[in-house]
Amino acid sequence: MEFCLGGLSGMCAGFFSNPFDVMKTRQQLQGELMNAKDVKNRPYKNIFRAIQSIVIAEGWRGLQKGLSAQLAFQFTLNSTRLGIYQTLDDYGFLKRDGNEKISKFRCVAVGAFCGLMGATTSCPFYMIKTQLQSQSDNAKYAVGYQHHHKGLIDGLKNIYTSNGLKGLWKGYSAIVPRNIVGSSVQLSTFSACKELLMRHEFFANSVFFTAITSSFATGFITCIFMTPFDTAATRMFNQPLDAKGKGLLYRNIFDCFFKIAKTEGIIGGFYKGFGPNYLRIAPQHLLNLTFWEKFKELNRQFKQR
């Protein structure tokens, strides 16, 4: 049940945060390897420009590009990582011997492990999500390589036909550090914030407000640590492949990091799309973890009955 609840909470959050994820993806691909030389005229220079460009080129529906893949990604990712995390927590693995206080080291370690497992199960859907979100119906607003998938199923079919089953996990080396860092920071910070807030009577009596406050703090900290890895993952998953399934732009994640730093700088390159990424992460964590807490509470009440 914990796995199903984690997946459902992820899907709920993914639906509302997908527009910001589309903007984040477009910004991270913009100017890849210095293809876009005129910074002032870049269609996704900032959040407002990004919204304007997407609506002009694709209408309001363009803000929900790749939604089906997003929901599939969020379900597989969160059902795995949150399900494993909650299961280990229920068995007392996160607490010190005889002490109800959460072990910070164990929390980070378990969060990283959950992120690794989540990355393994959700990798194909993350790839399709990224490639669908990068697609634009107007060449003027297109950034990165255009894969021309018609949807989630068509994307999975195209990749499988071209590169076989292993092609669906192409770029796995990029999503692993992204999810390990993101999950370990998110889950450990969220648990620590909850533990701190629960010392106060107001939060102790309200699961809802405890989850909201913890999620806001968690989203900001996670965004700082995860954005560089998220940018690299976006570039790796969206790059074109040759007939043998090898990337034409980046050999591996280290090559990707090197080229981003060399051509776009540390801050301007690795933290591309930080604005929409935070606007994506903050409500996503808020909704995801809040729904997760509420679903767990409803499940406990149902079992008691």
Q: What angle do CA 248, 250, 251 make, to 5 degrees?
A: 95
Question: Binning pLDDT at 50, 70 and 90, where does residue 67 land?
Answer: very high
For 69-90, how does the pLDDT look when each residue is reduced to its tens digit (9 = 90+)? 999 999 999 889 888 888 888 7
Query: Model pTM?
Result: 0.85
How confident is the prediction for the chain on average, in pLDDT? 84
115, two tokens: 């992120």
Q: Looking at residues 184-201, what average pLDDT do you find?
A: 79
Q: Which of 84, 80, 6 is nearest to 290 (CA)?
A: 6
Q: Looking at residues 10-35, what average pLDDT do you find?
A: 84
Number of domains observed in the structure of the chain: 1
For 91-108, how does the pLDDT look when each residue is reduced to its tens digit (9 = 90+)? 877 775 555 666 777 878
Q: DSSP letter at 103?
A: P
Residue 243 belongs to what domain range? 2-304
24 pLDDT higher than 90: yes
How far apart (Å, rounded) are the C-alpha atoms in residues 249 and 102?
43
Find the range with the poorest average confidence among 126-135, 137-146, 207-216. Answer: 207-216
Q: Looking at residues 254-263, what average pLDDT do you find?
A: 92
Say which CATH number the domain at 65 has: 1.50.40.10
191 in Cβ contact with 109 (< 8 Å): no
